[in-house]
Structures are given as C-alpha cells and as structure tokens.
Structure 1
Amino acid sequence: MKKSWKKIVGTLLTVALVGSLTACGGKKNDNGVTNAENSATSDVVTIGISDTIGSLNPLLMDGTEVVKYATSFEFLPLVELNKNMEFEGQIASEITTKDNKTFTIKIDPNAVWSDKEPITSKDVLFSFLCWASPEIGSTGMSIYNIEGTGDDGFVEAGSDSISGVVAVDDKTVQITTKTEMALSTFQNIYGRYILIIPEHILGDVPKDQMLSNEWFNAPTVVSGPYIVKDFDLNHYVTYEANENYFKGAPKIKNLSIKVVTPSQLLTGLQSGEIDLVQQTMGNILQEDFESVKKLDNITVYDGTPVTTQSIFFNTEKVTNVKVRQAFLYGMDRNIILQEFLKGKGEIVDGFLASAGPFFDPSIVPVAYDKDKAVQLLEEAKAEGWDPSTEYNFYVNSGDTTFTQVASYLAAQFAEIGLKIKVNTVDLSTLMTVAGSGDFDLLAVQYSYIPVDIFTDANWLLSAGGWTRYQNDEVTKALMDTQVTVDTDKIRESYRIVDSVVQTEVPMINAYVISGLGAKSNRLQNATPDVYGTFLNVQDWEIK
C-alpha cells in the first residue's frame, strides 16, 4: 500500500497550467467594447475573480478553484461538494462502495448532453481513458491507483480501455482501485476533479491530437449549464445558457467571468460591474472588508474557514530541520492575523482547521519565540548550516494581502539571521515553480477539504509532492484513514500527521482564512461560499 501511494495523490494543484486554449482577443461590439467590458448590462451576471484562468480544457484540469469552476460551467464532474461539505450528485446520482476498493457510479438517468444525447457509461469510460492515455500525457488525479494502469498512471499506448473501469450497463460504471480508498477520497479525487467529456463527439479524435483539438476552444456539446461564447484567459470568459441543461435551463442567459486585481473587486462591486465574488476565486482585500460590507447594493457572506495560507519548504533544498523550525518559531503569526487579517481567521499547525470534523484542539500552534529561533540557527550552524544562505521565497502576486505579509516576514526572519528573497509571480508561474521544485519556500492559498484531508496531505508529504518530504509514520497514519469510517480513529490518525508536521516542519500554515464573499442584491438565489456556490447556478435570477 505504501508503495502504491508514493506517487502524486490527487495532484489537485498540478503544474499543467499551459493548455491548448490560448488567450485570444475579445470580440467587440459596435461600440468597440468587449463582451466582458459590457457585462454590467442588465441581462448579464458577472463573477469577479482575481487570478487568471490557466485553461478551459477539461483534460488539463489543474485543480485550482478558478480553473475548476470556470471549466465545469461547461463540463460537469460526477459529484460536487455543497456548502455543508456533503457530496452532491452532478452527472452521477450516487457513488457507493462496499469494500473501499470497488466503487459503483450510478449516472443520473436524466443526464443528457446539450445535443440531447444521453450521458452514458461510455462517456465516463472515455473520460477516464483519456486521463490514462500516454498519447495525451495528462498527469495527476491519482489515475495510477486504478486497476489496469501502470505506476505512472498510464495504460499501454493504443489501449481502448482500462481494466479497472468497466460499464455494468448504460448508466452504471464500476471502478476498482489497487489499494483501499475511503469513499470520501474517491469522490473528492475522481468524482470532483475528472470532468466528463462526450464520447460520441470526441471518440474518433486521435489521442495524440486531443489536447490541441480546436473543438475545446469552442465546444458545441456540453453537459453543464453554460457554453463558452468568447474568452481571453487573462481577462474574461463569457458564457451563454445551455437551454437543454438537464437540471433546468438557466434563468440567467448570459454569464461572465471577469479577471481583475484584488483591489478592483471593491470598485467593481460598488459600480455594479461585478455581481458576485466567491471566496476561493476572488480575493477581496482584508483592508476592503469593511468598505464592501457598507455597500448598499451588496450582501456579504463570511466563508467557511478552511482555506489556509500555506508555506511549503522544498526539503531537498532546506534540508536542516532546525532551520525549518527556526522559520516557524521566528514567525509571529498572531501579529499577522490581527494586523493583516483584522482577526478574520485562525492559526493552526498542520492540515486541520476548526471547521472540519477531524479537527483536534490538542495540537496547540507553536508560539512566536525569537530567542528559540536564534538558538535553533546556532545549533544548525554547528551542524554545518551556512548562515549566508539566501532562500528564494515565491508568493502569488494575485494575493496582495500575503505579498504584504511576505515583506513583513522577510524583515522578521532577517532579525534572527535568515535571509529571504521574496519573488512575487502570477499564479500560473507559481504553479510551474512548484512543480519544478525550483524554490526554497513557496506560499499559496490551499483549501484542504475537511472531509478528505488525505488527498492533499498524502501528496504534499511525499517524495513526489511539493515538499519532497516523506515519513513512514505519517504515511501509515494517512493510510489508516482510508480503511475506517470511525471519526475518532480518523481524528487520531490526523493528530499523528499534524504532530509530525509541527515537529519536522515540511510546511507552515501562516493562517487560516475566513474569506469574504459578496453578491449584488439584484442577483437572487445565489449564496457565495467556499463550497457549493455554483450548484444551483441554473436557478439564479436577476431581480
């Protein structure tokens, strides 16, 4: 079991951000205004986001929330999480298992493509085969743990099936995994992040041409509520309603995603150019919270506190554990929480935030201790650490709150003798750096899904994950979570994981964010939250 899970699990933030969809110029109307710029008109609802969209190709799904949601407006996953962190059917009506190895997927009997063709087992088999085909070369999503694939997650070139993915009938698929997997993990990885594509449209396309196929630039057949009309991935995507959406034709006929800087979210909400900001796609600045709350035309929503500002070490470069511990002790996280986040969040060590069912309050976060940090560095120096070392620290330019925090941290670290070079890059570049391992420290907002911590923890704390860190005790504890449904036993396993993380410090959670969502009062039936915001997008209405 240990060997099988050593590969990248989930890869929910993989480096495959470069796609066959390239940014293109926006179509302009008679007034020379792009569709996105004209989105404030009464019949268009605009979602404001603060990161560019890496791709809209379902086979290049990288797991970042902005890509996931922008793409799944067209191509649905099997299931999705709702605001109560329960898995809710999308293309699947249910996913079940009796032994945590064989999983049965029941496809919604009403599910159809936009051309009214039924969505069947063939589509599910085809979608999984695409991920497993070496000719396509997609990585991640734990395909390697499905029976019939190699350790690299691929089948033999030219294969037309995966032995572990079979159709029972037109509306039932069985998937068999190599190792035991909790139902919540299966649903989170395969259910949420593999978007189903139409076999009857794409089945004859040679696999080695799939990623470059122009069809993905303007799909004519979709399963989701909307179809892309126009896009410039650095600036906007515009959609029109899929009138044959099997969950009901969307009441709002025109939807738009608009890419802006975080500082522009406030002005966009105020002017009416932006109708909705969802907590994981749009980063409303902490300093703008009160101003947004005071807007007469806007209703605000506090997000579930599960998104962490995580700092990952490349432990192959920052090898001395005492140096990593010095970073942790030398970081005044309470000052950061109070001054930069105005107290809107919490401090934890490890993966578990208080909103999750497995949270263990016995893991007390390490307190700021400058003297302890200096002592640790002296001990590290005696062991051969070079105090002249400068560490490259990469942060997301789209997260302006943390770019300020990073500057503050650099000054704090300098006081204890740690030299930091802060490199501010866009999200796409950040993910490329993360995948290449060409960093010492890297910070990114990361939502550890409370009902499935395993997926991210097992990947991140592995030789193939960002940290390049592996620990047998952690691996065993994580695998133990996959063979029980006993909450207390799962909590105990995660307590072991978080305790080791706190001691070995392959990562640090700077803080847990309670992000702010916002909605225009003209938009009805929409509630921005970390999970479930778009499940009922077809029922949104303009007042």
Structure 2
Amino acid sequence: MSKMKSVLKYGTIVFASSLFLSACGNGDVPDLDEDASSEEGAEESAESLPEVDAGDGSTLMVGLTNAPDSFNPFYRPGVAGTWIQRFFYDSLLVMPTADSFEPGLASFETEDNQVFTVNIDPDANWSDGEPVSADDVAFTLNTIADPQVETTLGTSVAMIEGTDSSGVREEGTEELAGVEVVDEKTLTITTKSPVDLAYLSEFLGFNVLIAPKHVFEDIEIVDIPNSQEATMPSVFSGAYQFVEYDNDNYVHLEANPDYFRGAPAIETVYARVMNGTSLITEFQAGNLHMTAGGGIGMVPVQDIGLLEDIEGLVVEEHPSFNGQYMVINNEKFDNLEVRQAFAYALNRELTVENLLGGRGEVLASTYSSASPYKDDSLEPLEYDPELAKEMLEEAGFDFDTPLEFVVPTGNAVREQNGNLIEQWFSEIGVTVNLNSYDFPTWLSMAQDLDYDIGLMGWGHTVDPNIASYIQTGGASNNMAVSDPVVDDLIEQGMAGTDFDERYPIYAELQQHMQDEMQIVPLYSDSQFSVQVDNLNGGIKEYWAGSLHDLHEWTLDTEE
C-alpha cells in the first residue's frame, strides 16, 4: 500500500467572526444581552492575571479580540473557540503550511483515494493515561454524523460512506458504513467515491478534533452541548490542558507534561479577551507577547502603524482568504434584479482604499486572490448607482419601506463600512434602518432570518468547499439560499479527485453566484501577526496551521 502524498497545491486559511456561546464555569451559556466585558469585570480579571516579567519564559500572554465560543469538540461555530480547542484537542493530521499535511495523532495511507487506513501514533495518550484509540476516532466521526447531534462539522465528514450530502448518517443506521475499527490503533475510512486528497486531508484529517470516547460516550447526544465535559473539559490529547475560562476575560491553560510529541517548553498560557484598542495599550505596556491573529486577535488596520513603532515588536502582513460580505435575506428578496441592484449600489473600491488603506482587495466571489480556485477572469460588479436605481424601479421595488440593516459590533472597519453602505443606499432613494448588535445576537437573528440585509465575515478552508454557507440546509446558510444549481455544483466539486478536475466546477460556481447575487462579496482584508521578537514560534503566514509546533515554542529571557 503506497503512502498518501502530503504535498498539495494550496494557499492560506482564514476564518470568520466568531459566534459567542461562551462556556461558563457552571456549564451555563450566558445571556446574549449581558455585557460580560464591563470595565469592572475587566479590572477584576486583570488583577487575577500574573504580571509579564521579561525574565520569565514560562508564561505566554496572548491577545484575542473575539471570545471563544465553544469548548465542545463537536460544535465549533466560531474561529476563536476552534483556535483555543487546538491547544488541548489534537486532529489526525496537522497543516504546517497551506500546501502540506503531516501526521498529528495519526497518519493516512491509501492506494485508491477511497479506502484510507488511519494509523494512530502508538504513543498518543489522553491526559488521564488512556490511549488515543481507533475507537475514539470512530466515536468522534459517528457522533458528528448523528442526526440528533448539535454540530457544525457535518461537511467535514460528508465524504464518508454512509452519510448524506450534509454529513448526516443515513436513516435507519446506527454507525457509519465507511468507518471500520481494525485494532486499537488502526481503522479504515471509506469514502462514497474517490476524493481529492486535499479535500479529505483538510476537512476530515485537520478540521475534525478527536474527542475522548470514554468521556463522552455515556452522555445522551442531545445533552452534550450543556454537559460538564463539553463546557469544562478535563481530558485532553493536546499540548495543553484547559484550566479555567474567566468569562469574556481570559482562558487559562497549563502544559500537558505527558504530551506524546514532547512536553511544552512554555508552561502557562493566558489567552486574554479585549478590544483592538486595548490590544495596542497592552502591547505598549509590555503586557502581551502576541495576538492570536486570523481575525480573532485583530488590531484595526488604521492602528497597525502604532504597533510597528513599538521597539521589540514584530508586525507582519499576510494575504488572507478572509471574506466580508453583505448577506441578503433571499426569502424576502427573491427577485434577482433587486439583489444585483444592491451590489451595483456599493462603492467597494472606496472601502478598500479608504477604510483598509489599500491593504486588501475587492471580492468578485467568495474566493480571494490568494486562492488557487479563484477565477481571475471574473471581475467584481462595478459601482453604478444610476443602474442600481433603474433596476430597482424596473423590479417594482418598494422604496417606501426601509431595509432592516444589521451591522455587528466589534470590527471597526466593518462598522464604518456599514455607515458607508447606509449612505450609498440613501443616494439611490433606499432608506435603511441601521441597527448594531453584538455578534451573537446578530447571528441568532440571521439564523431566524430576522433581517433584510446585514454584514458578516465568513471563514474559508484552503479547500474550496463552501457547502456549509450556500448549500440548501447548510449549517451556516443564514440567507435562505436554496438553489439547485448551487447544490449540484457543490456536489460535483466535492466529488472531484484533483485540482484540474475541480477548478472548472468552482469557476462555474463563482460565475453563477455572481449572476444570482444571493450574497454580495465586499472585501478581503490583510491579516497581521504581531508578537514580541523574543518569542520563538507564534503565528505563521498559514494562520490555521500555526499551532502545529505549539509544544516547541519558547520565550527567550533577559539575562
């Protein structure tokens, strides 16, 4: 049996703004209207944190601007929660760069790109001493595919034999037909048909974090989200162990001394939650070592210069797949001309030049120029307010009823862009009621289709599969998009076995989405990594893979 090749042609990964369903100490989810990050609470939190000492290389302080949303390995709707979980739950494969995969908990072998043998590292153990086993992997995959589970990972297992197109286990079955345990450290995974190695490796090998069966197996599926095990995890396979989440203030992690890849050199990590302005202040005061980057440790682009002026701080700019979009309630606006008119009304070039200072690009589709799957021949619709107004008039648009426009708080550029969009709509005679909410509240409204238009960031894997956002019934399809052409192209794209076969399918998808304009692509902004120069490790250009060598990070100390 020949080993699967690990080198693949790809770009970078980025993520969307995170949903916030923070796990509190008692396992409850806080009221979404609660202002958990009050100044008083932040001061109390700061007092309980250790001070940063230049002579101490044992504690790492990380800045986040989005709070972790979940510690449940089966339900990871936001990037912040996923990023934190990677400290203590490992995946089968790691992605050191955007075009390579290496063994994590396991290695993969295949001869036909359909039957994959998964060999789990013989030294991989849970923090309670139990071995990480084939049963753990099978349990994790079967739980994600269970019809009753609350999960955001359906698309990550949708290629496995025995699932439907959404990754749900076929009706009337108790286990996935395509998952078979061979022995304690070996299992086979069979896909419905041969698949692209990149697709399987990223979606199943890297995106799925393996959960301990012996911890979760006795919990009813529907009870997992609120269980102690999912909100205050206590058994881990990763480099660090979860200690405490001070709600909306910090996550405290301690090194796992028995980590199978080697005990971490840095003993303690605090991931601190704060706004972008506070990030700058804390760096100036010497109280942070790095930001999390990737949209969850975000400094406003206008303020990057302030950090570049701080001695001993390294600031790097990287391209990203990150996308900001104007989502449209397709249930309310089922007229194609109306949706296209909305796009023509927006001066997206002005957004990139003025709000991003040119550090970004206007999007023609959901793929940025960093993606090898971007169709370079597809140009964004031009700014044409006269055409927009004409199209709305011809479509019989109701100019007397204001549009309910939602702009989430927390991203300064996005909030400013919301004000510009309000102005651009007014210039074509359309009134909007602009309302701002925290991201969790907005996401809840979006899921209920309680809006007309709104702003939202989407995260994209290196692989071009965007089924969760636009496929009928997709977990993050909050626009009521139900388009058989989209669904068919998504299915074709997932069935392709290599880049050359899949590229024309995704090019056709991009053209179709622009023709239908079910969502208006706005811009992709650069990502910045910020860290002290004595940190050996930290955020890489390929953001999502940055934690692959976490156990090797060190902080040089002053002599």
Do they fold alike, i.e. is TM over 0.5? yes
Structure 1 residue ranges without an equivalent (≥5): 1-10
Residue number among 115, 124, 132 corresponding to 1:111 in the alignment: 124
Aligned equivalent of 1:344: 359
Q: Report how far residue 421 of structure 1 moved.
A: 2.4
> Quick one: distance in 2 between partners of 1:158 and 1:38?
54
Instruction: Give secondary structure in 1 for the equivalent of 2:505.
Output: helix
Instruction: Give me the whole-angstrom Cα distance separating, in 1, the residues matched to 2:336 and 2:317.
Output: 37
| Contact in 2 for aligned 1:279/1:303 (Cα 8 Å) | no
How far 1:528 sits from its partner (Å)? 4.0
What is the DSSP-based 3-state SS (H/G/I as helix, E as strand, rest coil) of the residue aligned with 1:482?
helix
- Find out whether 1:198 has 2:212 as its counterpart: yes
* Alignment of 1:533 onto 2:546: yes
Q: Are the equivalent residues in 2 in contact too, given 1:461–1:468 (CA < 8 A)? A: no
- The alpha carbon displacement at 1:155 in A equals 5.5
For the residue of structure 2 that corresponds to 1:335, the secondary structure is helix
Whether 1:88 aligns to 2:88 is: no
CA shift, 1:94, in A, is: 2.8
Partner of 1:316: 331
Structure 2 unaligned spans of 5+: 1-14, 31-35, 38-42
What do residues 461-494 of structure 1 show as CA deviations (whole Å, max 9, x unaligned)? Answer: 4354223224344333333333434534422222
Q: Distance in 1 between matches of 2:340 and 2:171?
A: 46
What is the SS of the residue equivalent to 2:423? helix
Task: Give 3-state SS (helix, strand or coil) of 2:234's partner.
Answer: coil
User: Which among 161, 186, 207 is matched to residue 172 of structure 1?
Assistant: 186
Percent identical across equivalent pairs? Answer: 26
Q: Which moved more, 1:468-477 or 1:418-427?
A: 468-477
2:287 alignment counterpart: 273
Q: Does 1:422 align with 2:434?
A: yes
Change (3 A) 1:421 1:37: farther
Counterpart amino acid of residue 535 in structure 2: L
Residue 472 of structure 2 is matched in structure 1 by 462
Q: Which residue of 1 aligns with 2:269?
A: 255
Question: Residue 544 of structure 2 aligns to a residue in which SS?
Answer: coil
Please state if 1:471 is matched with 2:491.
no
Return the TM-score normalized by structure 1.
0.87
> How far is 1:159 from its partner?
7.9
1:224 aligns with 2:238: yes
**Shift in Å at residue 219 of structure 1?**
3.3
The partner residue of 1:373 within 388, 394, 415 is: 388
Which AA in structure 2 matches 1:343? G
Deviation at 1:75, TM superposition (A): 1.1
CA-CA distance at 1:409 after TM superposition = 1.0
Identify which of 184, 189, 194 aligns with 2:198.
Answer: 184
Among candidates 502, 523, 531, match of residue 511 of structure 1? 523
1:394-441 deviation line (CA, Å, top 9, x unaligned): 233121111011011111111012222223222222332232222222
CA displacement at 1:261 relative to structure 2: 0.9
1:82-161, aligned counterparts within 5 Å?
82-94=96-108, 96=110, 98-100=112-114, 102-133=115-146, 136-138=149-151, 140-142=153-155, 143=157, 146-148=160-162, 161=175
C-alpha offsets along residues 365-411 of structure 1, whole Å, 9 cap, x if unaligned?
21211211121112112xxx211232222233121111011011111
Spell out the pairing of 1:401-412 with structure 2 (5 A cutoff): 401-412=413-424
Residue 8 of structure 2 corresponds to which residue in structure 1?
none
Q: Is the 8 A contact 1:141 1:190 kept in 2?
A: no
3-state SS, counterpart of residue 154 of structure 2: coil
CA contact (8 A) 1:307 1:445 kept: yes
**CA deviation after TM superposition for structure 1 residue 189, in Å:** 2.9
**Residue 15 to residue 533, structure 1, CA distance change in 2 (3 Å):** closer
Partner Cα distance (2:286, 2:332) in 1: 47
1:287 aligns with 302
Q: In structure 2, the residue corresponding to 1:339 is in which secondary structure?
A: helix
Q: Post-superposition shift, 1:337?
A: 0.4
Cα distance, 1:152–1:509 mapped onto 2, change above 3 Å: closer
Separation in 2, partners of 1:477, 1:155:
22
Checking the alignment, whether the CA contact within 8 Å between 1:75 and 1:223 is kept in structure 2 is yes
Query: Relative to structure 1, is the Cα distance of residues 97 and 445 closer, same or farther in structure 2, using a 3 angstrom cutoff?
Result: farther
Q: Provide the residue aligned with 2:73 in structure 1.
A: 58
CA distance in 1, matches of 2:159, 2:325: 27
- Separation in structure 1 between the aligned mates of residue 110 and residue 329 of structure 2, nearest angstrom: 37
The residue number in structure 1 matching 2:10 is none
User: How far apart, CA to CA, are the structure 1 residues paired with 2:301 and 2:164?
Assistant: 46
Amino acid at match of 1:275: H
How far apart, CA to CA, are the structure 1 residues paired with 2:322 and 2:100? Answer: 17
Q: Please identify, of 508-517 and 330-339, the stretch whose mean Cα deviation from structure 2 is larger.
A: 508-517
Distance 1:435 1:391 in 2: 18
Normalising by structure 2, report the TM-score. 0.85
Counterparts in 2 of 1:396 and 1:85: CA distance versus 1, 3 Å: farther
Tell me the residue number matched to 2:225: 211
| Residue from 303, 326, 346 that aligns with 2:318 | 303
How has the CA–CA distance of structure 1 residues 163 and 389 changed in structure 2, closer, same or farther, with 3 Å as cutoff?
Answer: same
- Distance (whole Å) between structure 2 residues aligned to residue 208 and residue 501 of structure 1: 36
* Compared CA separation, residues 398 and 173, structure 1 to 2 (3 A): farther
Alignment counterpart, residue 79 of structure 1, candidates 59, 71, 93: 93
Match of 2:464 in 1: 453
- Are residue 239 (structure 1) and residue 250 (structure 2) matched? no
Residue aligning to 1:8: none
Alignment partners' CA distance in 1, 2:460 and 2:330:
21
Preserved CA contact (<8 Å) 1:52 1:427? no
- Residue 13 of structure 1 deviates from its aligned partner by 9.1
- C-alpha distance 150-319 of structure 1, shift in aligned 2 (>3 A): closer
Letter in 2 for 1:203: E
What is the CA-CA distance between 1:67 and the residue it aligns to?
A: 0.9
Retained in 2: the 8 A contact 1:270–1:297?
no
Distance verdict in 2 for CA 1:36–1:90, change over 3 Å? farther
Instruction: Look up the SS of the partner of 2:531 in the other structure.
Output: strand
Q: Distance in 2 between matches of 1:170 and 1:284?
A: 46
Secondary structure of the 1:531 match is: helix
Letter in 2 for 1:480: Q
Relative distance call for 1:538 and 1:23 in structure 2 (3 A) is farther
Greater shift in the superposed pair: 81-90 or 266-275: 81-90
1:494 maps to which residue? 506
Change in Cα spacing, 1:192 to 1:491, as seen in structure 2 (3 Å) is same
Cα pair distance change 1:501/1:113, threshold 3 Å:
same
